[in-house]
Structure 1
Amino acid sequence: MPDDISIDDLFDPQLTQAQVAALAYGDAHPVSLTEGAVLNAAREWTGLADFGPDDFRERLNLLLDEWDADANLTNLSRANLYNYTVRYASNRLLIQNTLKNDPSIHDEVIDRPIIIAGLPRSGTTHLVNLIAADPRLQSLPLWESYEPVPLPGEQALPGGMDPRYQRCADAWAGMQTVTPLLATMHPMNPDHIHEELELMGPDFASYNFEWLSFVPGWRDHYYTTDQTPHYDYMKTVLKLLQRRHGARRWVLKCPQHLEQLPVLKTVFPDAFVAITHRDPVAVIQSAVTMQAYTARINRKHFDATTLITYWSDRVEHLLRACMNDRHVWPAEQSLDVPFHQFMADDLATAERILAKAGLPMTDQSRQSVADYVAGHPRGKEGRMIYHLERDFGVNPDALRERFAFYFDAFPVKAEIK
């Protein structure tokens, strides 16, 4: 893979053989986006039938109905979305079964978690992986976030590998085949530390569905719905995982928290929160390029104006919510992390966060984090070159004027000229 990568066919994609074959496979294997199809598949996969409280069905059907009405979805995308919902429904069955068999899991205490928030594409992923390298902390690898509970009776693979890990590795290999440049923009290998909002998936909640497909109806539902019950659900799944692994302080991260700071405080009142801050124009540029790139297999037609409008609005909503609610996290429980300072010295940033969270680095933890830094240099998978004005017809300085309120409030540096 070249050091510098520039995608010059975002809205007139030249498909690879692998992409053509994947789209043809989707066309040959259409799926039914209905509640019955999803829940029956989950029952068959797990051998279980108790989904717990039924309120999730309304949210599941909101998603399925919006996807089913979207004529621009490819059949491959419909299949991927179907598989997501089946996995979430299956996880819900497994989680419900585990809690029913051991109600004492609810007594677990999630003690003073370190939680990273910030805009998507603002360094939160690198920061959580960096801090998670500290062996004193518990984190959530992608493979376990995708399947937090093993299937009943499923045995380890030859060599001892967890079959959940293998399924995640197979999915990553498939993603690299069909969308090879995604690894440059957002790695998704099994050991990669992932967002805990994945644990809201079995409750059919969170803004994550906005990243999977174009769902303005779901976004509007999310905006007008109290997210506290879904954060409580996610916390319960963390308790389940903690029961299995033992009690250590968690390090978590999710950009959604930026617009849910009061909910986060309600559900995790003793947490320490680190908030990254980056030029929103750079964030939008990265987000829309990633969305446009994956659209070649997900959508029959998609235009630059729709993308840039949606994600500019979305980023503004995140930032205005942060501006309104930042005060709920007092200085002793929070830290603002400017992106340019983090990129200049990521090890020092991790050390500063851990120290303020009451967990000063030891020699061992410092070495573990330093080893992670050495093994994961920026641009390891190549460096993406973005073209906001060329590809989306938007002048960076003109777009940045929309976010003057944010630059006035936080020490953010403009990146894109």
Structure 2
Amino acid sequence: MIHQAPSLDADALIAEATRETGLDDFGDWSFREALAQLLQSLDREAALTDAGCAMQRRRIIDILRTRLRFEDYLKRYPEILDEAIESPVFILGLPRTGTTLLQRLLAADPRFHSAAYWETRFPVPLEDQDFSDPADPRIAVARNEVEAMLAAVPELASIHPLEAESADEEITLLEQSFYSTNPLAAANVPSFAAWVESQDQTDGYRYLQRLLQFLQWQKRQRGLEAERWVLKSPHHIHHLEVLLKVFPGARVIQTHRDPLQTIPSLASFVHTLRRLTSDSCRAEDAGSQWSRKMARGLAHCLAVRDSTSPDAFLDIAFEETVGDPMTVLEKVYRFIGMPLTDEAVAAIERWRAANPREKRASHRYSLAQFGLTEAQIERDFARYRERYGFAG
């Protein structure tokens, strides 16, 4: 009997998503080329195990299901696209610079909307449901998924606080258009990475905007109202000009930490994720690919900032966020023009008490593990390190 790996054929995946949902209208088919590029790279380069292939296949089918069901919701509730995403706050910077902590501190203030992991993973209901029911079935599915990931690779818990019901990155919403860095982190797909970097990301960000409108509409059905969104993703350093075009009222907080600390930590995270789907992923590939990628992203981010009004940006050092978060929050609230009320402070303090940083195990890594050297990091990130005081 000949063993066959799960199929990564685009037509087969589209047919399966159509069969599972009973729907066939994807609306805009602009995602088709990105999907084809990703599948080709997964098939030829990622060295997936059968389990890894099945995992990637399921994730792609989930995305296709999301697109089908989203179009169906828009037909039934066209008012979704009347939702206004006003003056969102975006937190960006290198990974491992305190972006998650800062987002979750702000998300504790009920005046902010944020997207929990379960909402980014499943932005559209799996089936029609009563939005007023707090027991959303997507939460249980996401919780089981997180538990399975942590059981397979326990080190993830020390690298990123992965929690189904906590605020998380909208990178997974961008993944719904196949324009995101998630596939690059989850598998060794260098040709897809190169293709994505060469593309205009506007379609992906416009789809992100629409999904945020839908999430906001869903929150409204649950009786949740807020003044603005707090969002975060290191991905945005690569496409800052597109973000500012699609979200013209955005306020941007950029977090900073020496790449000598962040890049090996990022490489460890990527290599840990890739081990979920491949037995032959190399630590050196994670190091070289992501060090180059983030160096290019930061250079691009600085160039965009230099050509944009400085009033749209606030710089925050990692050490400030972890060392004196309340002082940082005072800066943030002044920057975004919102009062830091007693009620907000109380909510934030409750969150901090329930989420002490020392609960997490320490994350151990080194440059050499990932084929990196101090000289290379200092060279590739020279301008950034000099600008923000990390050089010398």
TM-score by length of 1: 0.87
SS in 2 for 1:379: helix
Match in the other structure for 2:178: 204
Distance 1:166 1:305 in 2: 36
Task: Tell me the CA shift for residue 215 of structure 1.
Answer: 1.4
More displaced stretch, 226-235 vs 30-39: 30-39
SS in 2 for 1:384: coil
Match in the other structure for 1:99: 74
Task: Tell me the CA shift for residue 309 of structure 1.
Answer: 1.4
Letter in 1 for 2:207: Y
Q: Alpha-carbon deviations, 1:141-186, whole Å to 9, x = none?
A: 0111111121334579xx9621111100110111121111111111
Q: Is the 8 A contact 2:117 2:165 kept in 1?
A: yes
Equivalent of residue 364 in structure 1, options 327, 343, 347 = 343
Distance 2:388 2:55 in 1: 39
More displaced stretch, 145-154 vs 30-39: 145-154
Task: Tell me the CA shift for residue 67 of structure 1.
Answer: 0.7
Q: Alpha-carbon deviations, 1:280-325, whole Å to 9, x = none?
A: 1211111111233344442232334322211110111111111211
Equivalent of residue 244 in structure 1, options 218, 237, 241 = 218
More displaced stretch, 110-119 vs 160-169: 160-169
Specify whether residues 160 and 408 from structure 1 end up closer, same or farther in structure 2 by C-alpha distance, changes over 3 A only.
Answer: closer
SS in 2 for 1:385: coil
Equivalent of residue 267 in structure 1, options 226, 242, 246 = 246
Distance 2:329 2:206 in 1: 27
SS in 2 for 1:383: coil
Task: Tell me the CA shift for residue 42 of structure 1.
Answer: 1.6
2:119 aligned with 1:140: no
Match in the other structure for 1:67: 42
2:169 aligned with 1:191: no
Q: Is the 8 A contact 1:262 1:328 kept in 2?
A: no
Distance 2:216 2:268 in 1: 37
Equivalent of residue 143 in structure 2, options 153, 169, 194 = 169
Distance 2:288 2:354 in 1: 37
Q: Alpha-carbon deviations, 1:190-209, whole Å to 9, x = none?
A: 11211112222222212222
SS in 2 for 1:337: strand
Q: Is the 8 A contact 2:185 2:273 kept in 1?
A: no
In the alignment of these two chains, the number of paired residues is 385
Specify whether residues 274 and 112 from structure 1 end up closer, same or farther in structure 2 by C-alpha distance, changes over 3 A only.
Answer: same
Unaligned runs of 5+ in 1: 1-27
Task: Tell me the CA shift for residue 366 of structure 1.
Answer: 0.6
2:10 aligned with 1:31: no
Letter in 1 for 2:56: L
Match in the other structure for 2:95: 120
Specify whether residues 173 and 404 from structure 1 end up closer, same or farther in structure 2 by C-alpha distance, changes over 3 A only.
Answer: same
Q: Is the 8 A contact 1:184 1:379 kept in 2?
A: no
Q: Alpha-carbon deviations, 1:226-283, whole Å to 9, x = none?
A: 1112111110111112122235211111111112111111111111110011111211
Equivalent of residue 410 in structure 1, options 364, 388, 392 = 388
Distance 2:4 2:128 in 1: 29
Match in the other structure for 1:15: none
SS in 2 for 1:62: helix
Give the 5 Å matches for 1:10-409.
30-70=5-45, 72-153=47-128, 161-246=135-220, 248=226, 249-389=228-368, 391-409=369-387
Task: Tell me the CA shift for residue 379 of structure 1.
Answer: 3.5
Specify whether residues 69 and 397 from structure 1 end up closer, same or farther in structure 2 by C-alpha distance, changes over 3 A only.
Answer: closer
Distance 2:261 2:248 in 1: 32
Letter in 1 for 2:118: W
Letter in 2 for 1:141: A
Specify whether residues 181 and 292 from structure 1 end up closer, same or farther in structure 2 by C-alpha distance, changes over 3 A only.
Answer: same
Q: Is the 8 A contact 1:285 1:388 kept in 2?
A: yes
CA RMSD in angstroms, aligned pairs only: 2.2
Letter in 2 for 1:177: A
Match in the other structure for 1:18: none
Task: Tell me the CA shift for residue 138 of structure 1.
Answer: 0.5
Distance 1:160 1:367 in 2: 24
SS in 1 for 2:60: helix
Distance 1:201 1:273 in 2: 21
Unaligned runs of 5+ in 2: none
Q: Is the 8 A contact 1:115 1:252 kept in 2?
A: yes
Q: Is the 8 A contact 1:278 1:413 kept in 2?
A: no
Task: Tell me the CA shift for residue 29 of structure 1.
Answer: 8.8
Q: Is the 8 A contact 1:200 1:230 kept in 2?
A: yes
Distance 1:168 1:401 in 2: 41
Identical columns (%): 33
